[in-house]
Structure 1
């Protein structure tokens, strides 16, 4: 899972207010907004532009391996470190796009050149730009706004923004990851759905978020393979639990063998129910 740190939004409007709301509800989102010139390095930080991910890939993977060793006393193989780093990046970027859409029906246009990653700490910095919105949005007349006709068009815009952004990133990581294009696109599907689901749980409206993710990714929406594909598990006390199974594995089990993800293909339904019903500490 991503590290638990907060986004630190600056005075950037109209998306600044939206990201403040996102930050308040998503403590696992490790990101901050930055100015036109990008973030500045500081002690313990080195910002790497994602405009050319292939150029910095090896450095980023090596630094991720260092973080895993420090945090989990595990020296990961290259493809494991690459998978963990890519999962963190995709989850974060997808939530930076889908969060404003879910909260305020605004889809930011986030290009690779608008994102930096801290190779030391793993956090992201985002330079906000234009966005798409609906005709009744109060921000529809502001500079940078592109007005779309309705919800279907806005969902299509969200999918297009994510697909465009991750294309060069997936191409850069395909070699070290040892996975084909479809498997990598499956990771994007998983992390896009996961971010919306997480936000819904943080808002106390899990079912609404599941419905939104299902409408966004119902299946047959290339280049995203698969669908949100939520299902319900009966609990031991009769209370149902929502779950889904990831299209692919993010290799968290290779770092913590006893703690596979709750939605991992390796985790059976009985184990999911057992963990979902554990008392909250």
Structure 2
């Protein structure tokens, strides 16, 4: 069973940090839902933006980011959401985006970027993200092995452990800071984090026409619950109406998207539970896959 890198054009090593530039370019071209500026010069501190470290350390900045999410949801749907709903949606956006910035290069080229919270900048009003790339970790056979800023680990499982650790270390301060606003405990928050790490790999595979391969890769990344993540990837198959089977999984945590409601005069459709939400039965999952 292959869990190696996707079949893609070779991306050559240039020099330390810049040797990820081609990978990020391909990742952004492939994943339309990933909206991140790569390599933009850091914006000055102020009311408009914060890096990931400041977002977790300064309550007033986190409150401003949640306020921005409240305003965006209200502008689209009409009613202002409950604050814990907005906080959950903001966290989901951050988890999924940064998770894919880490897991995408791992899936594509077996390189795990080193993304510290201070390397991510978030616009507090729009939640737009910008990344200042750094070094990365790779396997011994990588052409970048030995370059400045590049760390080498011995084998595939060590690289997967590096990815899990890099993601967990990045998210730990933010989960601690935002937990009270979402009114969720550590297990639920780490469940959300694990869900978004897995779903990013799955999404990238689907965009490349490699769903089966991406599911195998995501399963090797989280074959079961590995601390601090409470659950594994846990993919399963559903029987379709025409004999086909469809891949699905059930999320361990909830992003509260279903709790968003539309005003009667709004043109936006009311939000509904995500397809992998525990609230969605298997019959409804099959119906969505086959008709939407």
TM-score between the two structures when normalised by the length of structure 2: 0.87
**Secondary structure in structure 2 of the residue aligned to 1:232:** strand
Match of 1:92 in 2: 97
Deviation at 1:52, TM superposition (A): 2.0
1:50–1:116 CA contact under 8 A, matched in 2:
yes
Structure 1 gaps, min length 5: 1-10
Aligned match of 1:78 in 64, 83, 86?
Answer: 83
Looking at both structures, which has the greater relative contact order when contacts are Cα pairs under 8 Å and sequence separation is at least 6? Answer: 2
Match of 2:54 in 1: 52
Distance 1:87 1:258 in 2: 15
After superposition, the CA RMSD in angstroms is: 1.6
Distance 1:48 1:220 in 2: 32
Aligned match of 1:194 in 191, 199, 210?
Answer: 199
Deviation at 1:260, TM superposition (A): 1.3
**Secondary structure in structure 1 of the residue aligned to 2:50:** strand
Aligned match of 2:170 in 162, 165, 172?
Answer: 165
Deviation at 1:210, TM superposition (A): 0.3
Distance 2:226 2:258 in 1: 29
Q: Superposition pairs for residues 241-252 of structure 1, below 5 Å?
A: 241-252=246-257
Q: Superposition pairs for residues 1-281 of structure 1, below 5 Å?
A: 13-35=18-40, 37-39=41-43, 46-54=48-56, 55=58, 56-256=61-261, 257=270, 259-279=272-292
TM-score between the two structures when normalised by the length of structure 1: 0.91
Q: Count residues with an aligned counterpart.
A: 265
Distance 2:79 2:227 in 1: 37
Structure 2 gaps, min length 5: 1-14, 262-269
Distance 2:79 2:171 in 1: 28
Distance 2:44 2:23 in 1: 24
**Secondary structure in structure 1 of the residue aligned to 2:53:** coil
> After the TM superposition, which segments of 4 or more aligned residues of structure 1 sit over 4 Å from their partners?
none
**Secondary structure in structure 2 of the residue aligned to 1:14:** helix
2:257–2:273 CA contact under 8 A, matched in 1:
yes
Deviation at 1:73, TM superposition (A): 1.6
Distance 1:252 1:176 in 2: 16
Match of 2:3 in 1: none
Distance 2:43 2:76 in 1: 25
